[in-house]
Structure formats: structure tokens, C-alpha cells
Amino acid sequence: MKYVLMFADNEEFAAELAAMSDAERGRAYQRVYDWFAANSDKVTYHQKLQEPETATTVRLGGGEPVVVDGPYVEGKEVVSGIAEIDVADLDEALRMVRSWPGCPVVEIRPLLSVPSAPA
């Protein structure tokens, strides 16, 4: 079963990371790299996203599309990265995520199998 993990940062986490010394921050990032290495047999793709202020959101519906600078999320959490995993089931995905050493929120969402378009 394939899932996407969406890693979300919040203001508190970002402030803690910014307050770390270079050495502390390096150790924090190393724990994340180690997690990906330990789970490399299940992670099929992963990527860190650029900062939220680089986002552009397009709001559709109700007439003309509205283009807004910044992320769609109106809360305090923003998605900072994604990973696709291939595991047996949700329980295995949960076991992986419980050991995640990075940002404080991880959303697990199954990928939808969509039939391919006819040729």
C-alpha cells in the first residue's frame, strides 16, 4: 500500500530550530537523514519543500480563480516536506512515523489508485 507522509512544521518548531547552534542543528538534521536511511527500503520518494512564503495558492470556484501569495493553510502549521512510502498497511506506516525525529506533525494519507487514461 502506498502512502504519502506530509511533514508539517509550526512556528514553535521553526523557532527552536533557528535558536540552535550550527552544531545542534547539524545533529538534528543528521537524525532525519538517519531516519530516511533506516527506512530506505520503504521510502520510494522524498523531498523537502521550499519555505512557505514561496508558495502560490490558486483558489478556484465561484467565478474567476484568485491567485494568492503564500500557502493555503490558514493555521499555524505548514507542510515542509513529503515522502512516498510503500508499506504493507497503515499499521506499518504508523510504526515508521512514530520514530520520525523531525518536525512535530506528520499526516499519513493513502494514495488513490487511478486507472490510466485510454490511449
How big is the chain by its Cα radius of gyration, in Å?
17
**Confidence at residue 16, expressed as pLDDT on a 0 to 100 scale:** 94
Instruction: Please choose, from the candidates 7, 12, 1, the residue with its C-alpha nearest in 3D space to the C-alpha of residue 32.
Output: 7
- Dump pLDDT digits (tens) for 65-108: 888 877 665 667 888 899 999 999 999 999 999 999 999 999 99
Kindly report, residue by residue over 39-75, the tens digit of the pLDDT.
Answer: 999 999 999 988 888 888 887 888 888 888 776 656 6
- Find the domain containing 25 and state its range: 2-110
What CATH number is given to the structural domain containing 40? Answer: 3.30.70.1060
| Residue 115, in any domain of the structure | no
- Residue at 119 is within a domain: no
pLDDT recorded at residue 75: 65
Domain count, the chain: 1
